[in-house]
Amino acid sequence: EMCIRDREYMGKKKKETDQEKLDEDEFEEGLKYLQKKNVSMSLEIMGISMSTLAGILAMLVTLLLLLFSFIFVGIQAFALGGSFGAVINSLIPAAAGLGTVSYTH
């Protein structure tokens, strides 16, 4: 599509013998066009639009911020000076580490 349109435009500038050859700049431009077209067609086939991707990203960032705030508030709540606070503060990273290990296997 793009190559034909550009060839018609460039055909006015080039000689007839050079019109059949593809130079490096035209090849790179055509390759970039094909990659963009491939991505957009794949997303369209899957039913995903750019607004859907932006919404998913915003939701995941919000979820991550809520998770961090929950962890920090929980640690702050158990930041006691006694032995109970020390045990809880030791169990929180240990539980997180065990949860990570069991999730990856």
Q: Percent of the chain at pLDDT above 70?
A: 76
Model confidence at 64, in pLDDT bands (50, 70, 90)? very high
pLDDT in tens, 72-84: 887 787 777 778 7
If you write DSSP's letter for every residue of 5-30 in order, what string do you get?
HHHHHHHTTS-TTTTT---HHHHHHH
DSSP 48: -
Tokens of 69: 């705030």
Beta carbons of 43 and 49 less than 8 angstroms apart: yes
Beta carbons of 75 and 92 less than 8 angstroms apart: yes
